[in-house]
A and B are shown apart, each in its own frame.
Chain A
Amino acid sequence: MSIDLAPQTLTAPAPRRLPIWVIAVICWALYVVTRVIGQVDLAGFDRVATFGVIFASIVIEALPFILIGSLVSAAMAVYVPDRFFSRVARLPRALQVPGATLAGFTFPVCECGSVPIGRRLITNGINPAAALGFMFAAPILNPVVLGSTWVAYGGGVVGLEMVGGRAALGFVIAMAAGLMIAKGGQKVLRDRHGLNDDGGLTEDHGHDHDHTDGVCNHEPGSARSGTRGERVGDYLGHMTSDLLFMGRFLVLGAAVSALMQTVVPQEFIGGIADTFILGTITLMLMAFMLSLCSEADAFVAVSFTAFPRSSQLAFLLFGPVLDTKLAALYGATFRGNFIHRLLIVVVPLILVGTLIFGALFN
Protein backbone atom coordinates (compact mmCIF):
# COMPACT_ATOMS: atom_id res chain seq x y z
CA MET A 1 0.00 0.00 0.00
CA SER A 2 1.46 3.36 -0.93
CA ILE A 3 1.07 6.53 1.04
CA ASP A 4 0.78 9.80 -0.82
CA LEU A 5 3.30 12.17 0.74
CA ALA A 6 2.83 14.95 -1.79
CA PRO A 7 2.11 18.36 -0.26
CA GLN A 8 -1.60 18.89 -0.05
CA THR A 9 -3.33 22.02 -0.98
CA LEU A 10 -5.10 23.45 2.03
CA THR A 11 -8.73 23.64 1.07
CA ALA A 12 -11.79 24.88 2.90
CA PRO A 13 -15.35 24.46 1.62
CA ALA A 14 -15.94 27.06 -1.07
CA PRO A 15 -18.53 29.60 0.10
CA ARG A 16 -21.60 30.27 -2.02
CA ARG A 17 -21.05 33.05 -4.48
CA LEU A 18 -23.10 36.06 -5.38
CA PRO A 19 -23.03 36.75 -9.13
CA ILE A 20 -21.55 40.08 -10.20
CA TRP A 21 -24.78 41.12 -11.96
CA VAL A 22 -26.74 40.74 -8.72
CA ILE A 23 -24.24 43.03 -6.98
CA ALA A 24 -24.58 45.56 -9.77
CA VAL A 25 -28.39 45.50 -9.49
CA ILE A 26 -28.21 45.91 -5.69
CA CYS A 27 -25.83 48.89 -6.06
CA TRP A 28 -28.13 50.50 -8.60
CA ALA A 29 -31.21 49.93 -6.41
CA LEU A 30 -29.34 51.36 -3.43
CA TYR A 31 -28.42 54.43 -5.45
CA VAL A 32 -32.01 54.99 -6.61
CA VAL A 33 -33.40 54.55 -3.09
CA THR A 34 -30.86 56.95 -1.58
CA ARG A 35 -31.59 59.56 -4.25
CA VAL A 36 -35.32 59.27 -3.57
CA ILE A 37 -34.82 59.52 0.19
CA GLY A 38 -32.43 62.39 -0.46
CA GLN A 39 -35.35 64.45 -1.74
CA VAL A 40 -37.09 64.16 1.62
CA ASP A 41 -36.75 67.19 3.87
CA LEU A 42 -34.74 66.15 6.92
CA ALA A 43 -36.09 68.98 9.07
CA GLY A 44 -37.54 67.34 12.14
CA PHE A 45 -35.13 64.44 11.87
CA ASP A 46 -32.30 66.20 13.68
CA ARG A 47 -30.88 63.11 15.28
CA VAL A 48 -30.86 61.17 12.01
CA ALA A 49 -29.18 64.06 10.22
CA THR A 50 -26.61 64.53 13.00
CA PHE A 51 -25.83 60.82 13.02
CA GLY A 52 -25.55 60.67 9.24
CA VAL A 53 -23.26 63.67 8.91
CA ILE A 54 -20.89 62.56 11.68
CA PHE A 55 -20.86 58.94 10.48
CA ALA A 56 -20.12 59.84 6.86
CA SER A 57 -17.55 62.43 7.84
CA ILE A 58 -15.54 60.04 10.04
CA VAL A 59 -15.39 57.42 7.28
CA ILE A 60 -14.62 59.95 4.53
CA GLU A 61 -11.72 61.29 6.56
CA ALA A 62 -10.36 57.97 7.81
CA LEU A 63 -10.68 55.77 4.71
CA PRO A 64 -7.91 57.54 2.74
CA PHE A 65 -5.64 57.10 5.76
CA ILE A 66 -6.42 53.38 5.76
CA LEU A 67 -5.62 53.46 2.06
CA ILE A 68 -2.22 55.01 2.84
CA GLY A 69 -1.64 52.35 5.48
CA SER A 70 -2.64 49.62 3.03
CA LEU A 71 -0.35 51.02 0.31
CA VAL A 72 2.60 51.04 2.69
CA SER A 73 1.67 47.66 4.16
CA ALA A 74 1.41 46.05 0.70
CA ALA A 75 4.75 47.57 -0.31
CA MET A 76 6.32 46.04 2.78
CA ALA A 77 4.82 42.67 1.89
CA VAL A 78 5.86 42.64 -1.75
CA TYR A 79 8.80 44.96 -2.33
CA VAL A 80 10.82 45.05 0.89
CA PRO A 81 13.21 42.11 0.79
CA ASP A 82 12.77 39.30 3.32
CA ARG A 83 16.34 39.71 4.43
CA PHE A 84 15.64 43.23 5.69
CA PHE A 85 12.94 42.00 8.05
CA SER A 86 15.01 38.99 9.13
CA ARG A 87 17.89 41.32 9.90
CA VAL A 88 15.68 43.59 12.01
CA ALA A 89 14.01 40.60 13.63
CA ARG A 90 17.43 39.31 14.75
CA LEU A 91 18.13 42.51 16.67
CA PRO A 92 17.68 42.25 20.44
CA ARG A 93 14.18 43.04 21.64
CA ALA A 94 15.62 45.76 23.88
CA LEU A 95 16.74 47.55 20.73
CA GLN A 96 13.78 46.72 18.48
CA VAL A 97 11.05 48.03 20.76
CA PRO A 98 12.36 51.55 21.49
CA GLY A 99 13.65 51.83 17.93
CA ALA A 100 10.27 51.02 16.41
CA THR A 101 8.47 53.27 18.89
CA LEU A 102 10.80 56.14 18.05
CA ALA A 103 10.07 55.55 14.37
CA GLY A 104 6.58 56.82 15.16
CA PHE A 105 8.10 60.33 15.18
CA THR A 106 8.75 60.06 11.46
CA PHE A 107 5.53 58.58 10.13
CA PRO A 108 2.83 61.21 9.59
CA VAL A 109 -0.26 59.04 9.59
CA CYS A 110 -3.07 58.88 12.12
CA GLU A 111 -4.29 55.82 13.97
CA CYS A 112 -6.32 54.22 11.17
CA GLY A 113 -3.30 54.03 8.88
CA SER A 114 -0.96 52.65 11.50
CA VAL A 115 -3.00 49.50 12.21
CA PRO A 116 -2.41 47.75 8.85
CA ILE A 117 1.27 48.71 9.05
CA GLY A 118 1.64 47.35 12.58
CA ARG A 119 -0.05 44.17 11.46
CA ARG A 120 2.24 43.84 8.46
CA LEU A 121 5.35 44.35 10.58
CA ILE A 122 4.28 41.41 12.76
CA THR A 123 3.53 39.13 9.80
CA ASN A 124 6.96 39.99 8.41
CA GLY A 125 8.65 38.72 11.54
CA ILE A 126 9.30 41.91 13.49
CA ASN A 127 8.99 41.42 17.23
CA PRO A 128 5.27 41.97 18.06
CA ALA A 129 6.17 44.28 20.95
CA ALA A 130 8.14 46.49 18.56
CA ALA A 131 5.42 46.48 15.93
CA LEU A 132 2.77 47.35 18.50
CA GLY A 133 5.02 50.05 19.95
CA PHE A 134 5.24 51.61 16.49
CA MET A 135 1.50 51.22 15.92
CA PHE A 136 0.59 52.98 19.17
CA ALA A 137 3.31 55.64 18.88
CA ALA A 138 2.86 56.85 15.30
CA PRO A 139 -0.54 58.52 15.81
CA ILE A 140 0.66 60.33 18.96
CA LEU A 141 4.22 61.23 18.12
CA ASN A 142 4.18 62.10 14.45
CA PRO A 143 5.21 65.67 13.64
CA VAL A 144 1.83 66.70 12.22
CA VAL A 145 0.07 65.69 15.44
CA LEU A 146 2.61 67.41 17.67
CA GLY A 147 2.46 70.51 15.47
CA SER A 148 -1.33 70.69 15.67
CA THR A 149 -1.15 70.24 19.45
CA TRP A 150 1.23 73.20 19.68
CA VAL A 151 -1.04 75.35 17.51
CA ALA A 152 -4.22 74.36 19.37
CA TYR A 153 -2.72 75.39 22.71
CA GLY A 154 -1.74 78.77 21.33
CA GLY A 155 1.98 78.01 21.04
CA GLY A 156 4.30 79.55 23.61
CA VAL A 157 5.13 77.87 26.89
CA VAL A 158 1.73 76.22 27.29
CA GLY A 159 1.95 74.78 23.79
CA LEU A 160 5.43 73.45 24.46
CA GLU A 161 4.37 71.88 27.76
CA MET A 162 1.46 70.10 26.10
CA VAL A 163 3.59 68.94 23.16
CA GLY A 164 6.35 67.78 25.51
CA GLY A 165 3.89 65.99 27.76
CA ARG A 166 2.15 64.33 24.84
CA ALA A 167 5.40 63.22 23.21
CA ALA A 168 7.10 61.96 26.38
CA LEU A 169 4.10 60.17 27.86
CA GLY A 170 3.01 58.93 24.44
CA PHE A 171 6.40 57.34 23.90
CA VAL A 172 6.38 55.66 27.32
CA ILE A 173 2.80 54.44 26.97
CA ALA A 174 3.31 53.10 23.43
CA MET A 175 6.44 51.21 24.41
CA ALA A 176 4.96 49.84 27.64
CA ALA A 177 1.76 48.75 25.88
CA GLY A 178 3.75 46.98 23.18
CA LEU A 179 5.96 45.20 25.70
CA MET A 180 3.14 44.15 28.01
CA ILE A 181 0.69 43.01 25.35
CA ALA A 182 3.26 40.92 23.51
CA LYS A 183 4.89 39.70 26.72
CA GLY A 184 6.60 36.32 26.39
CA GLY A 185 6.42 36.45 22.60
CA GLN A 186 2.79 35.37 22.56
CA LYS A 187 0.86 35.64 19.33
CA VAL A 188 -1.27 38.71 19.06
CA LEU A 189 -2.69 38.53 15.55
CA ARG A 190 -6.09 37.07 14.88
CA ASP A 191 -6.37 34.52 12.09
CA ARG A 192 -8.13 36.42 9.36
CA HIS A 193 -9.34 33.40 7.41
CA GLY A 194 -10.78 31.44 10.26
CA LEU A 195 -8.52 28.53 9.50
CA ASN A 196 -6.56 26.53 12.00
CA ASP A 197 -3.74 28.46 13.60
CA ASP A 198 -1.65 25.35 14.22
CA GLY A 199 0.45 24.65 11.21
CA GLY A 200 -2.09 25.97 8.83
CA LEU A 201 -2.95 28.99 6.91
CA THR A 202 -2.65 32.00 9.19
CA GLU A 203 -1.85 35.67 9.13
CA ASP A 204 1.76 34.78 9.61
CA HIS A 205 2.19 32.80 6.45
CA GLY A 206 3.72 35.62 4.52
CA HIS A 207 0.85 36.94 2.47
CA ASP A 208 -2.75 37.34 3.36
CA HIS A 209 -4.73 38.65 0.48
CA ASP A 210 -8.21 37.37 0.10
CA HIS A 211 -8.38 33.60 -0.22
CA THR A 212 -11.91 33.65 -1.37
CA ASP A 213 -11.94 29.98 -2.19
CA GLY A 214 -10.26 29.05 1.05
CA VAL A 215 -7.30 27.95 -1.01
CA CYS A 216 -3.77 29.19 -0.71
CA ASN A 217 -1.41 28.00 -3.40
CA HIS A 218 1.49 30.38 -2.84
CA GLU A 219 4.67 29.68 -0.98
CA PRO A 220 5.25 32.01 1.94
CA GLY A 221 7.24 35.00 0.77
CA SER A 222 6.78 34.10 -2.85
CA ALA A 223 5.41 37.56 -3.48
CA ARG A 224 8.95 38.91 -3.46
CA SER A 225 10.01 36.63 -6.32
CA GLY A 226 8.31 36.41 -9.72
CA THR A 227 8.03 38.78 -12.65
CA ARG A 228 7.32 42.47 -12.35
CA GLY A 229 3.72 41.92 -13.50
CA GLU A 230 3.16 39.22 -10.88
CA ARG A 231 4.55 41.46 -8.19
CA VAL A 232 2.29 44.34 -9.23
CA GLY A 233 -0.67 41.93 -9.12
CA ASP A 234 0.37 40.71 -5.69
CA TYR A 235 0.88 44.27 -4.48
CA LEU A 236 -2.62 45.23 -5.59
CA GLY A 237 -4.05 42.06 -4.08
CA HIS A 238 -2.48 42.80 -0.70
CA MET A 239 -3.50 46.44 -0.82
CA THR A 240 -7.10 45.71 -1.80
CA SER A 241 -7.45 42.99 0.77
CA ASP A 242 -6.17 45.22 3.59
CA LEU A 243 -8.31 48.15 2.51
CA LEU A 244 -11.54 46.19 2.23
CA PHE A 245 -10.88 44.27 5.43
CA MET A 246 -10.01 47.28 7.58
CA GLY A 247 -12.57 49.48 5.84
CA ARG A 248 -15.61 47.53 6.94
CA PHE A 249 -14.51 47.63 10.57
CA LEU A 250 -13.87 51.34 10.23
CA VAL A 251 -17.49 51.68 9.09
CA LEU A 252 -18.64 49.77 12.17
CA GLY A 253 -16.54 51.89 14.54
CA ALA A 254 -17.62 55.13 12.89
CA ALA A 255 -21.27 54.13 13.21
CA VAL A 256 -20.87 53.42 16.93
CA SER A 257 -19.03 56.71 17.47
CA ALA A 258 -21.64 58.72 15.54
CA LEU A 259 -24.43 57.00 17.44
CA MET A 260 -22.79 57.83 20.77
CA GLN A 261 -22.27 61.46 19.79
CA THR A 262 -25.89 61.69 18.71
CA VAL A 263 -27.93 59.85 21.31
CA VAL A 264 -25.93 59.22 24.48
CA PRO A 265 -26.84 61.80 27.14
CA GLN A 266 -23.63 63.53 28.11
CA GLU A 267 -24.81 66.05 30.70
CA PHE A 268 -23.11 64.20 33.57
CA ILE A 269 -19.66 65.09 32.33
CA GLY A 270 -19.55 68.79 33.17
CA GLY A 271 -20.13 68.28 36.89
CA ILE A 272 -17.15 66.04 37.52
CA ALA A 273 -14.48 68.18 35.96
CA ASP A 274 -13.01 69.17 39.31
CA THR A 275 -12.24 65.64 40.49
CA PHE A 276 -8.85 64.69 39.05
CA ILE A 277 -9.24 60.94 38.65
CA LEU A 278 -12.91 61.05 37.70
CA GLY A 279 -12.34 64.01 35.40
CA THR A 280 -9.40 62.31 33.70
CA ILE A 281 -11.27 59.04 33.25
CA THR A 282 -14.23 60.99 31.91
CA LEU A 283 -12.11 62.67 29.27
CA MET A 284 -10.59 59.31 28.33
CA LEU A 285 -14.14 58.03 27.93
CA MET A 286 -14.91 61.03 25.76
CA ALA A 287 -11.83 60.31 23.65
CA PHE A 288 -13.03 56.74 23.19
CA MET A 289 -16.50 57.86 22.26
CA LEU A 290 -15.66 60.74 19.93
CA SER A 291 -13.12 58.80 17.80
CA LEU A 292 -11.32 61.91 16.65
CA CYS A 293 -8.38 61.95 14.30
CA SER A 294 -5.23 62.50 16.34
CA GLU A 295 -4.34 65.39 14.07
CA ALA A 296 -7.46 67.27 15.23
CA ASP A 297 -8.07 66.10 18.77
CA ALA A 298 -6.02 68.88 20.38
CA PHE A 299 -8.49 71.46 19.06
CA VAL A 300 -11.27 69.63 20.84
CA ALA A 301 -9.19 68.98 23.96
CA VAL A 302 -8.49 72.68 24.36
CA SER A 303 -12.24 73.27 24.42
CA PHE A 304 -12.59 71.26 27.66
CA THR A 305 -11.79 74.36 29.63
CA ALA A 306 -13.59 73.13 32.75
CA PHE A 307 -10.99 70.35 33.02
CA PRO A 308 -7.35 70.86 34.05
CA ARG A 309 -4.70 70.53 31.37
CA SER A 310 -3.56 67.23 32.85
CA SER A 311 -7.00 65.75 32.12
CA GLN A 312 -6.91 67.27 28.63
CA LEU A 313 -3.56 65.55 28.13
CA ALA A 314 -5.17 62.23 29.11
CA PHE A 315 -7.70 62.85 26.34
CA LEU A 316 -4.85 63.43 23.87
CA LEU A 317 -3.02 60.28 24.95
CA PHE A 318 -5.91 57.86 25.16
CA GLY A 319 -7.82 58.68 21.96
CA PRO A 320 -5.07 57.76 19.48
CA VAL A 321 -4.50 54.46 21.31
CA LEU A 322 -8.09 53.35 21.73
CA ASP A 323 -11.41 54.69 20.48
CA THR A 324 -14.55 53.17 19.01
CA LYS A 325 -13.27 52.86 15.46
CA LEU A 326 -9.92 51.52 16.67
CA ALA A 327 -11.71 49.02 18.91
CA ALA A 328 -13.43 47.64 15.82
CA LEU A 329 -10.15 47.53 13.88
CA TYR A 330 -8.28 45.92 16.81
CA GLY A 331 -11.08 43.40 17.29
CA ALA A 332 -10.74 42.33 13.68
CA THR A 333 -6.94 42.33 13.64
CA PHE A 334 -5.82 41.09 17.04
CA ARG A 335 -6.76 38.26 19.33
CA GLY A 336 -9.67 38.33 21.76
CA ASN A 337 -8.17 39.85 24.90
CA PHE A 338 -6.08 42.48 23.13
CA ILE A 339 -8.27 45.41 24.13
CA HIS A 340 -8.51 44.24 27.76
CA ARG A 341 -4.74 43.98 28.01
CA LEU A 342 -4.34 47.34 26.36
CA LEU A 343 -6.69 48.97 28.85
CA ILE A 344 -4.94 47.35 31.81
CA VAL A 345 -1.62 48.85 30.71
CA VAL A 346 -2.68 52.18 29.30
CA VAL A 347 -5.25 53.51 31.78
CA PRO A 348 -3.03 53.37 34.92
CA LEU A 349 -0.06 54.73 32.98
CA ILE A 350 -2.05 57.68 31.71
CA LEU A 351 -3.47 58.37 35.16
CA VAL A 352 -0.03 58.35 36.79
CA GLY A 353 1.63 60.22 33.93
CA THR A 354 -0.95 62.99 33.80
CA LEU A 355 -0.93 63.24 37.62
CA ILE A 356 2.80 63.97 37.46
CA PHE A 357 2.25 66.35 34.55
CA GLY A 358 -0.45 68.13 36.54
CA ALA A 359 1.81 68.47 39.58
CA LEU A 360 4.51 70.01 37.41
CA PHE A 361 2.58 72.24 35.03
CA ASN A 362 -1.12 72.76 35.97
Chain B
Amino acid sequence: MGCWSLFLLWLWQSGSVVRYLGPHTVWVVSFGAVALSIATVAYAWTSRESSESRIGVSWPRAAGMAALLLPIAVAITMANASLGALAASNKLSSRGVDMAELARTLAKGSTEVGFLQIRGAGTDAALSGQLDLGEGTSVSLTGFVMKGSTTAKDHFHLGRFYITCCVADAVPISVPIDPGLIGGGPYPEDQWLNVQGPLVRTEEGFTVQAAVIDRIDEPDDPYLSFR
Protein backbone atom coordinates (compact mmCIF):
# COMPACT_ATOMS: atom_id res chain seq x y z
CA MET B 1 0.00 0.00 0.00
CA GLY B 2 2.85 2.32 0.84
CA CYS B 3 4.56 1.62 -2.48
CA TRP B 4 1.35 2.20 -4.39
CA SER B 5 0.59 5.46 -2.61
CA LEU B 6 4.12 6.71 -3.36
CA PHE B 7 3.84 5.59 -6.96
CA LEU B 8 0.47 7.30 -7.43
CA LEU B 9 1.82 10.45 -5.76
CA TRP B 10 4.73 10.41 -8.20
CA LEU B 11 2.42 9.91 -11.20
CA TRP B 12 0.24 12.76 -9.99
CA GLN B 13 2.99 15.24 -9.13
CA SER B 14 5.27 14.50 -12.09
CA GLY B 15 2.44 14.69 -14.62
CA SER B 16 3.38 11.23 -15.90
CA VAL B 17 -0.20 10.16 -15.40
CA VAL B 18 -1.02 11.41 -18.90
CA ARG B 19 1.03 8.53 -20.31
CA TYR B 20 -1.49 6.07 -18.87
CA LEU B 21 -4.86 7.75 -18.33
CA GLY B 22 -7.18 10.06 -20.24
CA PRO B 23 -8.78 13.26 -18.98
CA HIS B 24 -11.89 11.40 -17.78
CA THR B 25 -9.96 9.34 -15.27
CA VAL B 26 -6.95 11.41 -14.24
CA TRP B 27 -8.76 12.13 -10.98
CA VAL B 28 -8.45 8.49 -9.88
CA VAL B 29 -4.70 8.92 -9.47
CA SER B 30 -4.94 11.95 -7.20
CA PHE B 31 -7.78 10.30 -5.29
CA GLY B 32 -5.84 7.04 -5.01
CA ALA B 33 -2.66 8.83 -3.92
CA VAL B 34 -4.39 10.75 -1.13
CA ALA B 35 -6.71 7.94 0.03
CA LEU B 36 -4.00 5.28 -0.03
CA SER B 37 -1.52 7.52 1.78
CA ILE B 38 -4.02 8.19 4.55
CA ALA B 39 -4.98 4.51 4.72
CA THR B 40 -1.34 3.41 4.82
CA VAL B 41 -0.44 5.76 7.66
CA ALA B 42 -3.61 4.87 9.58
CA TYR B 43 -3.08 1.15 9.06
CA ALA B 44 0.54 1.36 10.17
CA TRP B 45 -0.55 3.33 13.26
CA THR B 46 -3.37 1.00 14.28
CA SER B 47 -1.36 -2.17 13.68
CA ARG B 48 1.85 -0.95 15.32
CA GLU B 49 1.19 -3.10 18.37
CA SER B 50 0.27 -6.25 16.46
CA SER B 51 2.66 -9.17 16.46
CA GLU B 52 2.41 -9.38 12.69
CA SER B 53 4.24 -6.13 12.11
CA ARG B 54 7.14 -7.24 14.28
CA ILE B 55 7.56 -10.78 13.03
CA GLY B 56 7.09 -10.38 9.29
CA VAL B 57 4.82 -11.51 6.53
CA SER B 58 3.87 -15.03 5.49
CA TRP B 59 5.26 -16.29 2.17
CA PRO B 60 1.88 -16.51 0.38
CA ARG B 61 1.05 -12.97 1.46
CA ALA B 62 4.47 -11.78 0.38
CA ALA B 63 3.92 -13.37 -3.04
CA GLY B 64 0.59 -11.53 -3.34
CA MET B 65 2.28 -8.28 -2.41
CA ALA B 66 5.01 -8.91 -4.97
CA ALA B 67 2.35 -9.37 -7.65
CA LEU B 68 0.89 -6.01 -6.66
CA LEU B 69 4.29 -4.39 -7.07
CA LEU B 70 4.75 -5.75 -10.58
CA PRO B 71 2.82 -2.95 -12.37
CA ILE B 72 4.92 -0.37 -10.52
CA ALA B 73 8.10 -2.11 -11.64
CA VAL B 74 6.82 -2.25 -15.22
CA ALA B 75 5.80 1.41 -15.18
CA ILE B 76 9.17 2.54 -13.81
CA THR B 77 11.06 0.32 -16.26
CA MET B 78 9.10 1.66 -19.22
CA ALA B 79 8.64 5.20 -18.01
CA ASN B 80 9.23 6.57 -21.51
CA ALA B 81 7.26 3.97 -23.46
CA SER B 82 4.01 4.78 -25.22
CA LEU B 83 1.78 3.11 -27.77
CA GLY B 84 3.16 3.31 -31.27
CA ALA B 85 2.77 2.06 -34.80
CA LEU B 86 2.59 -1.60 -33.76
CA ALA B 87 -0.37 -0.99 -31.46
CA ALA B 88 -2.01 1.19 -34.11
CA SER B 89 -1.75 -1.49 -36.78
CA ASN B 90 -3.07 -4.09 -34.32
CA LYS B 91 -6.09 -2.00 -33.52
CA LEU B 92 -6.81 -0.95 -37.09
CA SER B 93 -6.41 -4.35 -38.65
CA SER B 94 -8.42 -6.05 -35.98
CA ARG B 95 -11.52 -4.05 -35.52
CA GLY B 96 -12.79 -3.29 -38.96
CA VAL B 97 -12.66 0.32 -37.90
CA ASP B 98 -13.69 2.92 -40.45
CA MET B 99 -11.64 5.81 -39.11
CA ALA B 100 -13.37 8.37 -41.29
CA GLU B 101 -16.80 7.30 -40.03
CA LEU B 102 -15.57 7.29 -36.45
CA ALA B 103 -14.02 10.71 -36.86
CA ARG B 104 -17.21 12.03 -38.46
CA THR B 105 -19.24 10.91 -35.45
CA LEU B 106 -16.86 12.14 -32.80
CA ALA B 107 -15.73 15.38 -34.41
CA LYS B 108 -19.24 16.86 -34.44
CA GLY B 109 -19.34 20.01 -32.37
CA SER B 110 -15.56 20.45 -32.46
CA THR B 111 -14.03 23.87 -32.71
CA GLU B 112 -10.36 22.90 -32.86
CA VAL B 113 -8.72 21.25 -35.85
CA GLY B 114 -6.72 18.07 -35.41
CA PHE B 115 -6.43 14.55 -36.80
CA LEU B 116 -9.99 13.69 -35.80
CA GLN B 117 -11.52 16.75 -37.42
CA ILE B 118 -9.47 16.57 -40.64
CA ARG B 119 -10.28 12.90 -41.01
CA GLY B 120 -13.98 13.48 -40.35
CA ALA B 121 -14.28 16.57 -42.53
CA GLY B 122 -12.66 14.75 -45.43
CA THR B 123 -15.81 12.72 -45.97
CA ASP B 124 -18.44 14.97 -44.42
CA ALA B 125 -19.24 18.18 -46.26
CA ALA B 126 -21.29 19.59 -43.36
CA LEU B 127 -18.46 19.06 -40.90
CA SER B 128 -16.02 20.49 -43.40
CA GLY B 129 -18.16 23.64 -43.67
CA GLN B 130 -18.60 23.88 -39.91
CA LEU B 131 -14.86 23.68 -39.28
CA ASP B 132 -14.02 25.83 -42.32
CA LEU B 133 -11.76 23.09 -43.63
CA GLY B 134 -11.34 22.81 -47.37
CA GLU B 135 -8.90 22.47 -50.21
CA GLY B 136 -5.92 24.73 -49.47
CA THR B 137 -6.60 25.23 -45.74
CA SER B 138 -3.24 25.29 -43.99
CA VAL B 139 -2.86 22.96 -41.00
CA SER B 140 -0.16 21.95 -38.54
CA LEU B 141 -0.11 18.43 -37.13
CA THR B 142 2.11 16.71 -34.58
CA GLY B 143 2.05 12.92 -34.51
CA PHE B 144 3.98 9.77 -35.22
CA VAL B 145 4.34 7.82 -38.46
CA MET B 146 2.08 4.79 -38.67
CA LYS B 147 0.85 2.37 -41.30
CA GLY B 148 -2.16 3.54 -43.24
CA SER B 149 -4.40 2.50 -46.05
CA THR B 150 -2.80 4.89 -48.51
CA THR B 151 -1.03 3.27 -51.42
CA ALA B 152 0.44 6.36 -53.03
CA LYS B 153 4.18 6.14 -53.38
CA ASP B 154 6.12 8.03 -50.69
CA HIS B 155 2.92 8.91 -48.84
CA PHE B 156 2.66 7.95 -45.19
CA HIS B 157 0.17 8.34 -42.37
CA LEU B 158 0.72 10.64 -39.43
CA GLY B 159 -1.48 9.99 -36.42
CA ARG B 160 -2.09 10.05 -32.70
CA PHE B 161 -3.91 7.81 -30.27
CA TYR B 162 -7.10 9.20 -28.76
CA ILE B 163 -7.82 7.87 -25.29
CA THR B 164 -10.83 8.21 -23.05
CA CYS B 165 -10.13 6.44 -19.78
CA CYS B 166 -6.86 4.59 -20.22
CA VAL B 167 -4.40 3.44 -22.83
CA ALA B 168 -6.31 0.17 -23.22
CA ASP B 169 -9.16 2.04 -24.93
CA ALA B 170 -6.87 4.04 -27.23
CA VAL B 171 -8.08 4.53 -30.80
CA PRO B 172 -5.57 5.60 -33.48
CA ILE B 173 -6.64 8.38 -35.86
CA SER B 174 -4.35 9.32 -38.73
CA VAL B 175 -4.17 11.58 -41.73
CA PRO B 176 -2.33 10.81 -44.99
CA ILE B 177 0.72 12.98 -45.63
CA ASP B 178 2.18 13.71 -49.04
CA PRO B 179 5.81 14.78 -48.52
CA GLY B 180 5.72 16.05 -52.11
CA LEU B 181 8.73 18.01 -53.16
CA ILE B 182 10.16 18.18 -49.66
CA GLY B 183 11.04 14.52 -49.63
CA GLY B 184 13.42 14.14 -46.74
CA GLY B 185 12.37 10.55 -46.21
CA PRO B 186 12.33 7.81 -45.39
CA TYR B 187 10.10 8.40 -42.39
CA PRO B 188 10.26 5.26 -40.28
CA GLU B 189 7.29 4.10 -38.23
CA ASP B 190 7.08 5.65 -34.75
CA GLN B 191 9.10 8.69 -35.81
CA TRP B 192 7.48 11.81 -34.34
CA LEU B 193 7.00 14.65 -36.81
CA ASN B 194 5.51 18.10 -37.02
CA VAL B 195 3.98 18.56 -40.45
CA GLN B 196 2.65 21.84 -41.82
CA GLY B 197 0.97 22.39 -45.15
CA PRO B 198 -2.29 22.83 -47.03
CA LEU B 199 -5.04 20.23 -47.31
CA VAL B 200 -5.59 18.53 -50.64
CA ARG B 201 -8.76 16.59 -51.40
CA THR B 202 -8.19 13.01 -52.60
CA GLU B 203 -10.28 9.82 -52.82
CA GLU B 204 -9.42 9.09 -49.18
CA GLY B 205 -10.61 12.47 -47.97
CA PHE B 206 -8.08 15.13 -47.05
CA THR B 207 -4.34 14.65 -47.46
CA VAL B 208 -1.82 17.14 -46.11
CA GLN B 209 0.51 18.40 -48.81
CA ALA B 210 3.55 18.90 -46.61
CA ALA B 211 5.32 22.25 -46.85
CA VAL B 212 7.40 21.71 -43.72
CA ILE B 213 8.31 18.43 -42.02
CA ASP B 214 10.25 18.60 -38.75
CA ARG B 215 11.52 15.55 -36.90
CA ILE B 216 10.75 16.09 -33.24
CA ASP B 217 10.96 14.25 -29.93
CA GLU B 218 7.89 12.52 -28.56
CA PRO B 219 5.82 15.07 -26.60
CA ASP B 220 5.33 14.67 -22.85
CA ASP B 221 1.68 13.88 -23.46
CA PRO B 222 1.67 11.50 -26.42
CA TYR B 223 -2.11 10.98 -26.44
CA LEU B 224 -5.11 13.11 -27.35
CA SER B 225 -8.68 12.75 -26.14
CA PHE B 226 -12.03 12.78 -27.92
CA ARG B 227 -13.57 15.53 -25.83
Contact = CB atoms under 8 A, between A and B. Distances in A.
A350 B3 CA distance: 41
A61 B69 contact: no
B156 to A, nearest CB: 17
Contacts, number: 248
A286 B166 contact: no
A293 B167 CA distance: 11
Contacts of B11: 60
B67 A251 contact: yes
B46 A57 contact: no
State the main secondary structure of chain A at its contact with B: helix
Interface stretch (A10-18, A127-135, A177-185): A10-18
A42 B78 contact: yes
B1 interface: yes
Interface stretch (B98-106, B128-136, B147-155, B193-201): B98-106
A299 B3 contact: no
Nearest to B108: A154
A191 to B, nearest CB: 15
B164 A52 contact: no
Given A47-B86, A247-B68, A56 B74 contact: yes
Contacts of B25: 61, 293, 295-296
B3 to A, nearest CB: 7
Contacts of A53: 19-20, 78, 81-83, 167
A348 interface: no
B31 A17 contact: no
A261 B78 CA distance: 17
Contact of A17 (B17, B32, B58): B58
B95 A270 contact: yes
A50 B83 contact: yes
Nearest to A271: B96
B183 interface: no
A19 interface: yes
Contacts of B36: 67
Contacts of B166: 57-58, 60-61, 293, 296
Interface in B37-73: 39, 42-43, 46-47, 52-53, 55-62, 64-71, 73
A59 B71 contact: yes
A89 interface: no
B182 to A, nearest CB: 25
B125 interface: no
A290 B168 contact: yes
Give the size range of B's interface with the partner: 35 or more
A64 interface: yes
Contacts of A35: 76
A307 B20 contact: no
A195 interface: no
B224 interface: no
Given A20-B57, A52-B81, A67 B32 contact: yes
A269 B164 contact: no
B169 A300 contact: yes
B72 to A, nearest CB: 8
A106 interface: no
Contact of A38 (B8, B60, B76, B97): B76
A254 interface: yes
A260 B48 CA distance: 42
Given A296-B165, A304-B95, A49 B171 contact: no
A222 interface: no
A312 B56 CA distance: 50
Interface string B7-37: 0100100000101111011001101100110
Contacts of B76: 31, 34-35, 38
B77 A52 contact: yes
A18 B58 contact: yes
B215 interface: no
A318 B90 CA distance: 22
A53 B73 CA distance: 12
Given A52-B81, A239-B39, A270-B94, A251 B68 contact: yes
A283 B179 CA distance: 38
B65 A244 contact: yes
Contacts of A61: 20-21, 25, 28, 165-166, 168
A45 B91 CA distance: 18
A16 B57 CA distance: 8
Given A46-B86, A61-B166, A252 B62 contact: no
Given A34-B77, A60-B29, A71 B35 contact: yes
Contacts of B56: 17-20, 22-23
Contacts of B29: 60, 64
Given A56-B71, A57-B167, A212-B58, 9 more contacts: A50-B87, A54-B167, A55-B71, A58-B167, A60-B21, A71-B35, A244-B61, A292-B168, A305-B102
28 contacts: A14-B58, A16-B59, A23-B56, A23-B57, A46-B84, A49-B81, A54-B87, A56-B78, A58-B167, A59-B71, A61-B20, A61-B25, A61-B28, A67-B32, A67-B39, A148-B164, A212-B57, A236-B42, A239-B39, A255-B70, A257-B168, A269-B94, A269-B95, A273-B96, A292-B165, A302-B102, A304-B96, A306-B97
